Structures are given as C-alpha cells and as structure tokens.
C-alpha cells in the first residue's frame, strides 16, 4: 500500500509514482548510498516500475517517497507487516549524500513511527543495520529503536564480515517517550 501524504518540517512523505523509478535506480546505483544496504545490484527500469506498482496493492507493506524541496530523495516503508501480530519492519534510504547529517532521517523515522503506532495500530516496529553503518544506528537510536541482538558476521563489506544488528521499538515505549518530550 502507499502511505498518505505527510508533511514534516524538512520533508514531505508522499505516495510513490512511476516517475520515481529512474531516480530510485540512479540513487541506489551510487556505491556510497548502497554500501550498507542488503541489495547492491541495480534494478532495471522495468523491475523498478513493477516494484512501485506491486507496492500499491501489497497489503503487507506500506511505503512513501521522501521529498526534500520538491525533489524525490529516497524512500521509507514498512515491509513484512504481520497484521495478526502487529509487527512490521521499517527501512529507509536517503539517496543524496549531500543531504546526510541534517536530521532528515530522524524526522522521517519519527513521522512514520507515529503513523505506525497511531494510524496503523501496530504494536512493534523492527529494523536493523550493518555494524559499520554508524549513521543508521544513530538515526534508529534517535527514535528509540534499541538493539535486541545481532547476527554475527552476516554480510561481507569492504573486505570483511560484519554483524547485522537487530533493533526494535515497542508502541508502549514510544508512547512513554512522547509523553516525556
Ligand atoms: C543512514 C541514513 C539513513 C542516515 O540518514 P541522515 O538523514 O543522514 O540521518 P540524520 O541526519 O537524521 O542523523 C542521524 C544521526 O546520525 C549521525 N550521522 C549522520 N551521518 C553520519 C555519518 N556519515 N557518520 C556518522 N554519523 C552520522 C548524525 O549526526 C545523527 O547523530 P546524532 O543523533 O548523534 O545527532 C543515510 O545516511 C542513508 O540513507 N544512507 C544510505 C542508505 C542506508 O544505509 N540506509 C539505512 C539502512 S539500515
């Protein structure tokens, strides 16, 4: 499913559209961007269009295109949603390294966590990151995703095996953090 338009201070989250396909391919082909992603091989235009189309009807995923100043700069979404257990996996990329370190992911993650807990009725969101991906770890910690374990030596990156750190955020803990702030 596509998520509805959500406006933040720095970003707009909006439904995907076919025009996003080429920017997604270009951004994800950048080795700086895909360095710590599970998939590093570029998609064809046809495959990317099919992914965008399939997401519109997949009842177990929920996603947005991220815009900054009217430009498509990445995606965020929930996959592998179990409506029965109230659990989903969140993933994000910001495809323009010049935008990194400006709090964009922190804002996006906060917006979609709120949406997951207050609109979708989810009970828990899960995520993860490769150990050397310090920025992702910090951004996840910012919204309360805490480490619950790791798969050791799970992926091969830059000549060595690195751990995949597993994180989660429970709705009750998120609600408590909201009343504190
Ligand atoms: C990981 C990623 C999503 C972070 O996005 P971002 O918009 O730069 O994150 P933010 O600006 O909200 O920063 C979050 C934290 O990371 C820190 N950070 C950002 N870039 C960093 C870097 N290159 N090195 C170290 N820390 C960094 C910020 O200082 C901030 O830390 P703080 O909480 O101590 O202030 C982005 O770098 C990205 O899209 N990378 C490529 C795809 C990817 O790896 N996705 C995640 C897969 S798990």
What CATH class does 6-180 carry? Answer: alpha beta
**CA gap 17, 147 in Å, rounded:** 34
Residue 70 Cα to ligand 1 middle (Å): 21
Ligand 1 midpoint to CA 25 (Å): 21
What average pLDDT does range 74-97 have in this prediction? 98
The answer to whether 140 touches 93, Cβ cutoff 8 Å, is no
140: Cβ below 6 Å to ligand 1? no
Q: Provide φ and ψ at 146, rounded to 5°.
A: -110, 150
Rounded to whole angstroms, what are the CA distances from 173 to 7, 9, 121, 142?
24, 24, 14, 13
Q: Rounded to the nearest whole angstrom, what is the distance from the C-alpha of residue 101 to the centroid of ligand 1?
A: 6
In which band, very low, low, confident or very high, does the pLDDT at 179 lie, cut at 50, 70 and 90?
confident
Residue nearest to atom 33 of ligand 1 (CA): 138
Q: What is the pTM of this model?
A: 0.95
b/e for 48-70, b at 16 or more Cβ within 10 A?
A: bbeebeebeeeeebbbbbbbbee
Q: Which atom in ligand 1 lies closest to the alpha carbon of residue 104?
A: 7
Mean pLDDT of the region 98-116:
96
Give yes or no for residue 86 CB within 6 A of ligand 1. Answer: no
Domain segments of the chain: what residues? 6-180
- Nearest atom (ligand 1) to Cα of 130: 48
What whole-number distance in Å separates Cα of residue 78 and Cα of residue 3? 10
Which residue's alpha carbon is nearest to atom 22 within ligand 1? Answer: 135
Looking at residues 92-121, what average pLDDT do you find? 97
């Amino acid at each position: 499913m596509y998520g509805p338009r959500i406006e933040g201070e720095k970003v707009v989250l909006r439904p995907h559209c076919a025009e996003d396909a080429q920017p997604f391919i270009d951004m994800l082909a950048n080795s700086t961007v895909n360095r710590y992603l599970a998939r590093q091989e570029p998609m064809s235009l046809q495959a990317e269009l099919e992914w965008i189309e399939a997401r519109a009807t997949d009842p177990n995923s929920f996603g947005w295109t991220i815009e900054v100043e009217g430009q498509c700069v990445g995606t965020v979404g929930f996959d592998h949603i179990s409506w029965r257990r109230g659990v989903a996996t969140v993933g994000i990329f910001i495809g323009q390294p010049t935008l990194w370190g400006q709090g964009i992911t922190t804002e996006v993650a906060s917006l979609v966590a709120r949406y997951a807990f207050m609109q979708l009725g989810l009970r828990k969101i899960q995520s993860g990151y490769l150990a050397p991906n310090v920025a992702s770890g910090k951004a996840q910690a910012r919204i309360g995703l805490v480490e619950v374990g790791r798969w050791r030596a799970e992926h091969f990156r830059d000549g060595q095996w690195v751990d995949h750190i597993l994180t989660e955020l429970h709705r009750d803990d998120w609600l408590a953090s909201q009343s504190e702030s």
